[in-house]
Structure 1
Amino acid sequence: MDWKQKLLVSPLYDLFGKRSYAQSGEDLIAWGEFKNSINQKLKKSKLARGFYVDIGAYHPKLFSNTYLFYKKGWRGICVDPNPQMEKLYGQARPRDIFVNVGVGDGSKNQNQDEGGVMEYFMFEDGAANTFSAEQARKNQKEAGRKLVGKRIVDVLPLREILEKYIPKGQKIVLLSVDAEGMDVEVLKSNDWKKYRPELIICEDLEFDFKNWKKSEVTKYLVAKGYELKAKTPYSLIFKRVE
């Protein structure tokens, strides 16, 4: 089943009890980790009021690492540079805040204190959209995906987005990052002294078990006080230890 077919039948998943909405079960792994350990650190009343931040959120349900949490009563901030997603989030996930920008440091823009603009590569399969020229090349040459356009998109650091949109005093339980080759750049744009999620789901397309210490995502998050808890075909799941 290709992505178009999945998009058409996704409403049926709700009716017939689809348990995982993520690409490879990342949401179930993260939910299990939350229930088994992290929730013991938090008040039980927060179980239905947890807060997530979803970077590269794409569709509100299809391939979503956070929709399962939304169904369980959570809410959060969903960020994606694809303008077509804003209306869908308003309809499917009205509790969430949707922010239509890219995330990273970008190139400086005189009209912004931080961030800037970057070229955004858009594919027929919107899940493959990326800011990475190298990833765009791989999408076309190696995966046979069709490039349908490019556009210049505003880019903000993660720290600035969180500063602007997170409710005062709100704790981030889950951070999901799926930036199609720009994941480390997204992570580096956070203020880790101020914003320290309990769990992180991060895409890492280059991860190799034999040389896992070479993973830039892993090296960066371990240095920030996280440990690798699980690996799916496309993502790594980390838990805060400090």
Structure 2
Amino acid sequence: MPFFKAPRGKKWTKISYSQSGEDLIIRFIFDQLQIKNPTYIDIGAHHPFYLSNTALFYESGSRGINIEPDPLLFTLFLKYRKKDINLNIGIGERQGEADFYIISTPTLNTFSKKEAENYNNEGDYSITQVIKTPVNSVENIISENNNGLFPQLLNLDAEGIDELIVRSIDYTQNFPLVMCIETISFSTSGNGIQNTSLIDFVISKGYIHYANTYINSIFVRKDIWRQRQL
């Protein structure tokens, strides 16, 4: 049998900025839906590229809304994601102000006091600062920045308030086609618990649980996905 040497080159290279390849899975879904440059809203965006589920799309020509309440992290979006809409706010049930807990590991920053205090039980983490931060509802943000139309991709990593955000969406009128949501509780020992109630809720609103990377769950709108298969 002749020796076969696999060809290498840029043609076969796939770049991912996500923690577990989520952006490549999402890219595949949108390719199947024949949507080349999906719009997005990235809640708890954290960093323009590091562990980002939207950086791949930005570099491919997509545009969206990045929401990052940490003022230090936010400055990076102004520098590296200039063509996006970048908002230095948090998400709440309505427009107002809330306490934002800055944690010694910035990926754990949260608006949830309970979540912030629980980090002490999971490792060497501490609250370094609590700052009053503007918040607004998802509905208001979309109305003010995207002509009221929900972006095609919702990426959500809001440390403790993900369920509040997911349940605030009107799934009968204005909703994303694809959602990527962190659905596992924080754990340094690898014993995180899947938020099955949140997963079941999203499925009940007309989504397929397309993929689970253990950290994040990826959902696609069932009716849109089935139309693509016809």
What interval of TM-score do these two structures reach, taking the shorter chain for normalisation? 0.7 to 0.9
Q: Which residue of 2 aligns with 1:226?
A: 207
Aligned residue number for residue 102 of structure 2: 122
Report what 2:198 is aligned to. 217
**1:173-188 matched pairs, under 5 angstroms:** 173-188=152-167
Structure 2 residue 142 is the aligned partner of structure 1 residue 194: no
Give the Cα separation in 1 of the matches to 2:202 and 2:118: 26
**1:19 is matched with which residue?**
15
1:149 to 116, 121, 129: 129
Equivalent residue for 2:83, pick from 95, 104, 110: 95
Point out the structure with max Rg over C-alpha.
2
Contact kept in structure 2, 1:206 and 1:215, CA below 8 Å:
no
Structure 1 letter corresponding to 2:137? P
Give the distance between the partners of 2:57 and 2:153, measured in 1 at CA: 10
Given the superposition, is the C-alpha separation of residues 58 and 71 from structure 1 closer, same or farther in structure 2, using an over 3 Å criterion?
Answer: same
Provide TM-score, normalisation by structure 2. 0.81
> 2:74 maps to what in 1?
86
> Aligned pair in 2 of structure 1 residues 33, 129: CA closer, same or farther (>3 Å)?
same
2:54 aligned partner: 66
Native 8 Å contact 2:100 2:132 kept in 1 = yes
Identity score, percent: 32
- Shift in CA distance, 24/72, structure 1 to aligned 2, threshold 3 Å: same
CA distance in 1, matches of 2:147, 2:82: 16
1:38 to 15, 20, 33: 33
Structure 2 Cα separation of the partners of residues 138 and 171 of structure 1: 33
For residue 25 of structure 2, what is the aligned residue in structure 1?
A: 29
What residue number does 1:136 align with? 116
Distance 2:89 2:150 in 1: 22
Paired residues, number: 205
CA RMSD of aligned residues (A): 2.2
Say whether the 8 Å CA contact 2:30–2:38 is kept in structure 1: no
Call closer, same or farther: CA 1:124–1:206 in 2, change over 3 Å.
closer
3-state SS, counterpart of residue 211 of structure 2: strand
Secondary structure of 2:181's aligned partner: strand
Tell me which protein shows more helix as a share of its residues: 1
Structure 1, unaligned stretches of length 5 or more?
1-16, 106-113
By how many angstroms is 1:174 displaced? 1.0
Amino acid at match of 1:141: N
Cα displacement string for residues 176-200 of structure 1 (whole angstroms, at most 9, x for unaligned residues): 0101121011112233333221110
Q: Is the 8 A contact 2:119 2:125 kept in 1?
A: yes
Q: CA separation in 2, counterparts of 1:18 and 1:91?
A: 25
- Secondary structure of the 1:84 match is helix
- The SS at the match of 2:123 is coil
Shift of 1:143: 2.7
SS at 1:32's partner residue? Answer: helix
How far apart, CA to CA, are the structure 1 residues paired with 2:72 and 2:185? 29
Deviation of 1:55 (Å): 0.6
Matching residue of 2:9: none
- How far 1:62 sits from its partner (Å)? 1.0
